[in-house]
Structure 1
């Protein structure tokens, strides 16, 4: 079992709503239109989710939690998203819900652009209780501001949000899939996932 949960949210202020309006050439009529701004924010969040899902990268920094029923290694555990900036907590949870938090000095973050890992400083990963789980709380993302996101990923989100805007009234019977330009922008960021987060 591996479950990835988003426990933090991307603040509305971090989303490039005005830049998307400029990209769509909405002009000065957009300014002050709260309904239009809310729609553009929604489109950006949808595009962000698609890009993050396709690449395994968190674009804007926020908190996540990983639930594991078993380790994939003996002394290290690959994490299913990147870039990770901090391991906030590692806790063992038994079948009754009792939690034991590991001392932070026992493990460290091994940073990697595609597959960061939780690594034990010495020895092996602790045993997970029978019918229990391990919970890993972490912070991931390129940064808190849109300017921290790599330019090609910014462009992919912008193009995808623009497509969502242009097709917002479609019945949904068109051809599914990402535009080729978006696919090309994402290609170097994609990670082949093996064994649900294994090495």
Structure 2
């Protein structure tokens, strides 16, 4: 399995001006560094929580539907990574000769309300089997809380802001501040 970012978010959960206000910076001498820190802090929060803050597109390549515990409900549902799920944009399988076959996502029930989001079979449906054993399934999907920074839950935004402050003062190698850990605890992935 591989997961590739196709389209990154168009904005960040906190703006450059908001970061500058938090750090009491009034000039533009640190703008490039702060922009980098904001992106790094968001990516760290997303990585630690397994979530997507703002709308972004991903492509997952798989060898098979099963194998990693994401095929569930007696093989009738498949869980997508990076909640919250906004949409499934394309499903493609590849034959043994590498010929692609597109499958209409509308042929499935797409559950965007569950976390993680799920692709579920309709009655008498089945997950299309690939002919190619390696990377025979591709799922293109969009995830995140929305396109506007105000769509991101406040604890995640605050965690990003505090992490930007910590990295600005201590560098990119800074450990996770206890206050950020406390904010993220409710959002961490739990695997059973």
Q: What is the TM-score normalised by the length of structure 2? A: 0.86
151, 155, 158: which one pairs with 2:158? 155
Corresponding residue SS for 1:138: strand
Corresponding residue SS for 2:30: helix
Shift of 1:14: 6.4
Q: Which residue of structure 2 aligns with residue 7 of structure 1?
A: 6
Query: Structure 1 stretches of 5 or more lacking a match?
Result: 195-199
Shift of 1:145: 1.5
Higher mean displacement: 4-13 or 114-123: 4-13
Please give the per-residue CA displacement for 1:76-105, whole angstroms capped at 9, x wherever unaligned.
211111001111001102354321110233
Equivalent residues, number = 183
Query: Structure 2 stretches of 5 or more lacking a match?
Result: none
Q: Which residue of structure 2 aligns with residue 121 of structure 1?
A: 122
For the 8 Å contact 2:13–2:157, the answer to whether it is kept is no
Corresponding residue SS for 2:93: strand
d(CA) in 2 for partners of 1:162 and 1:52?
17
Aligned CA distance change for structure 1 residues 96 and 25 (closer, same or farther; 3 Å): farther
Q: Which residue of structure 1 aligns with residue 58 of structure 2?
A: 64
Please give the per-residue CA displacement for 1:129-175, whole angstroms capped at 9, x wherever unaligned.
2324211111111111211110000000011111111113x8x5xxx
d(CA) in 2 for partners of 1:69 and 1:10?
27
For the 8 Å contact 2:77–2:119, the answer to whether it is kept is yes
Segments ≥4 residues shifted beyond 3 Å: 12-15, 94-97
Q: 1:29-178 counterparts in 2 under 5 A?
A: 30=27, 33=28, 36-72=30-66, 73=71, 74-112=75-113, 114-122=115-123, 123-132=125-134, 133-168=136-171, 177-178=175-176
d(CA) in 2 for partners of 1:15 and 1:182?
15
Shift of 1:13: 7.1
For the 8 Å contact 2:87–2:112, the answer to whether it is kept is no
Q: What is the TM-score normalised by the length of structure 1? A: 0.84
d(CA) in 2 for partners of 1:130 and 1:109?
25
For the 8 Å contact 2:56–2:143, the answer to whether it is kept is yes
